[in-house]
Amino acid sequence: MLFGSCSEYNKILKSNDYELKYTKAKEYFNAGDYYKSLPLFEELMSFFKMTDKGEDVYYYYAQNQYAVKEFYMASYYFKKFAKSYPNSPRAQECAFLAAICKKELSPDYNLDQSETYAAIDEFQLFMDRYPNSNLVDSSNTEIRLLRAKLEKKSYESAKLYYKMEKFRSAVIAFNSTLQTYPDTDYKEEILFLIVKSNYLFAINSIESKKVERFEQTIKSYHNFVDSFESSKFIKQAENYYNSTVKELTKIKENSVSN
């Protein structure tokens, strides 16, 4: 049976009967035999290009690329379909699927996020083009998920500076995360780590820099408490604050005695 099936498929591939190929390609696709339908649709693309079947073949070819997880190719052909057949009832669906393909190409947060930015742009482009689409809500949901990945990357990158004891860089990076993502779920921990990083940066500084840096620790402490007065980190933050006040007092006393 397997041999017969392969033999039949090979005959279809070699056939010059393009109507048969068209029928069989759709049959294979609808049956989930995507690796059989793909070569047929690829050949049919050029043959039916200027005919009334051209749109149908193009659509199935893009869907076939998506089905075999060739997301770069699928995104390209979905996007091109929407441009080539703007009045087609499938144009909106294809424009949305082009963005979905970009989302599928978005890697884990710890890798380069160029594809994530591209996916966000593609969803935004879809909503600009089809503002009344029933897929707008889905697009906004996808954008939120993609932005959450960028947010996590920003947070983890800042935290890496902290773990490497590069406290000044950590503070800069944490503040950058807050500026870019002011409503981030990591805000409480970020504000606390800014206090801690400022303190550790100050305590390990040369004497001439300590006052300025301890004062920055106090500022960051007040900023943290104002935002999260009942935080689980509050006791630790108070310890850094109290230690900072003591250090500043010592410095002033030494300055007077000298």
Instruction: Kindly indicate the confidence band of residue 3, based on its pLDDT and cuts at 50, 70 and 90.
Output: very low
Instruction: Kindly indicate the confidence band of residue 191, based on its pLDDT and cuts at 50, 70 and 90.
Output: very high
CA 55 to chain centre: 32
Query: Using CA atoms, how far apart are residues 224 and 228, in angstroms rounded to an integer?
Result: 6
- Name all contacts of 67-76 with Cβ < 8 Å and 24+ positions apart: 67/29, 67/34, 68/34, 68/35, 68/38, 69/104, 71/101, 71/102, 71/104, 71/105, 72/101, 72/105, 74/98, 74/101, 75/101, 75/102, 75/105, 75/122
Instruction: Kindly indicate the confidence band of residue 1, based on its pLDDT and cuts at 50, 70 and 90.
Output: very low
Q: Using one digit for the tens of pLDDT, what is the confidence trace for 144-161?
A: 999 999 999 999 999 999
Query: Using CA atoms, how far apart are residues 194 and 169, in angstroms rounded to an integer?
Result: 10
Tokens at residue 117, please? Answer: 């930015």
Domain 165-258 has CATH 1.10.10.10: no
Distances (CA, A) of 254 to 26, 200, 241, 251, 257: 86, 21, 20, 5, 5
Q: Does residue 68 register a pLDDT over 50?
A: yes
Q: Using one digit for the tens of pLDDT, what is the confidence trace for 49-61?
A: 889 999 999 999 9
CA-CA-CA-CA dihedral for 101, 105, 108, 114, to nearest 10:
-110
Count of alpha carbons within 13 Å of 248, Cβ hemisphere only?
Answer: 15
Average pLDDT for 179-202: 97
